[in-house]
Amino acid sequence: MPNILIVEDDKTIAEALKFAIEYEGFNCEWFTTGGEALHYFEHNQVDLTILDLGLPDIAGFDVLRNIRRSSTTPVIVLTARHASEDQVVALEGLEADDYIVKKNGSDSPRIIIAKIKALLRRTKPSAKKTNSVFSFNEALQKLSFKDQVLSLTPAECKILTHLVKHPNQVFTRRILLSVIHDRETGSDEATINTHIKSIRKTLKKIDQDKKYITTHRGIGYSLIL
């Protein structure tokens, strides 16, 4: 039986959603704070999480970031925040699987249940995201390249890991900033250039023949495999 986790401090919304989920025959756990939810997530099997961004203790983006450090379990963001920037950070920067804005009709329990079922159908058992060149040790938060552990700063590791998980896809500097900071502001986008330069130098020490990170002028960067 799938286990669904709800992280929502609005009692009316959470109770209606919990009732609908359990009516479908799923198990459902509900917490009003991010801290409680993360503690539960760490010690229990969770098949899908429904996450509000406006929590009383921890920012929803921080909760999602912590989940993504150890798991690829589906996450549906359910929030009143409708700004496109928030949606981009959640979906592209932090790898949420869906983003639902409250009070616009798409937040009805029936629609959310349909989205839950669709995500669970597509979800396969968690596996390490690897390819023939890179591998990531989630327990140690270490990235390896051609079987050699890379010496990277935490920011560089986050950027390269994100690129490795999404090869041949272009990411703007703003998105890569959100990968580091959980937000699109608060740091100069030019710092991404510095991180990329350092990552390239580290990779070149191991493989001088191929340029793995490509610059897309005026746009951003991609990892070519």
Pick the closest to residue 21 from 44, 50, 55 (CA basis).
50
| pLDDT tops 50 at residue 126 | no
| Domains of the chain by residue range | 3-122, 134-223
| pLDDT tops 90 at residue 43 | no
- List, for residues 128-167, the tens digit of each pLDDT value: 444 568 888 766 778 999 989 999 998 999 899 989 888 8
Specify the CATH superfamily of domain 3-122: Response regulator (3.40.50.2300)
Pick the closest to residue 180 from 189, 53, 216 (CA basis).
189
pTM: 0.60
Architecture of the domain delimited by 134-223:
Orthogonal Bundle (1.10)
- Residue 27: strand, helix, or coil: strand
- List, for residues 69-119, the tens digit of each pLDDT value: 888 899 999 999 999 999 999 999 999 999 999 987 777 899 999 999 999
Provide the pLDDT confidence category of residue 222 given band limits of 50, 70 and 90.
very high
Q: What is the pLDDT of residue 190?
A: 84
Provide the pLDDT confidence category of residue 19 given band limits of 50, 70 and 90.
very high
Provide the pLDDT confidence category of residue 9 given band limits of 50, 70 and 90.
very high
- List, for residues 161-202, the tens digit of each pLDDT value: 989 888 888 888 888 888 887 544 445 778 999 999 999 999
Q: 43 and 67 in contact (C-beta within 8 Å)? A: no
Q: What is the pLDDT of residue 178?
A: 85
Q: What is the pLDDT of residue 124?
A: 55
Average pLDDT over residues 28-49: 93
Query: b/e for 155-172, b at 16 or more Cβ within 10 A?
Result: bbbbbbbbbbbeeeeebb
16 vs 225 pLDDT, higher one = 16
Strands (E), the chain: 3-7, 27-31, 48-51, 75-79, 98-101, 134-137, 142-145, 148-149, 171-172, 213-216, 220-223
Measured CA to CA, the distance from residue 70 to residue 54 in angstroms comes to 22
| pLDDT tops 80 at residue 54 | yes
